[in-house]
Amino acid sequence: MKSTLILLCLAALPVGTALAADAPAAADPKAPASQPAGAETKTLWFDAKVGDTLVYKMPNNLGQVWKVTKVDDKTATVQMVTQMNGKDLSTAEQPFPRVAAAPAVATPTNPPATTPAVETKQLADEVVKVGGQDLTCKVTQSVMKVGEKTITSKAWTCDKVPGGIVKSESDAMGANAVMMELVEFKKGS
């Protein structure tokens, strides 16, 4: 469930945001460099439509079904059903921002937030097949030191998928493991 919470946070980040768990948000790389702090940028939920459905598989026979139930100017509301062995365990609704304020510029009177040392790098794009569709995904690797342990995580994201999340893996629990993987994706109307 911890990986799900991390991925839910990632899903609300603005387009172009570094995917390290505690990295400060970045502005949309397509926006003008002079974009003022507080200006709105599109998130990976911007193009969400009611009825968009995402089916994820997770370790230990867990899965989640995310369905967009409402869209307005500012948010996309998603119903998330957690399943085990195909049976519903819990249901929750979560609003995700469709637009986000650009991050404030750090100044001597507004220093950046302190974050753990996270090294993030963009890897080569990869094509991931999801339900017969080829999705070209951006692949981001993050390495974070937590005490004596080094945790390496990778995230595959695609702007054609509401929320962007296609796959994530991490060695946080020992061996490198897929934490969440999109197995079915249907567009709403």
In tens, the pLDDT along 73-118 reads 999 999 999 999 999 999 999 999 999 987 666 566 666 665 567 8
Residue 177's pLDDT band (boundaries 50, 70, 90)? Answer: confident
pLDDT at 161: 95
CA–CA separation, 56 and 58 (whole Å): 7
Confidence of residue 27 (pLDDT cuts 50, 70, 90): very low
Rounded to 10 degrees, what is the CA torsion of 49, 92, 170, 168?
-10
Residue 3, SS3? helix
Q: Give the per-residue pLDDT at 112.
A: 61
What's this model's pTM, rounded to 2 decimal places?
0.73
Q: Does residue 69 register a pLDDT over 70?
A: yes
Which residue ranges form the domains of the chain, and what is each CATH number?
A: 2-30+37-105+114-186 (2.40.360)
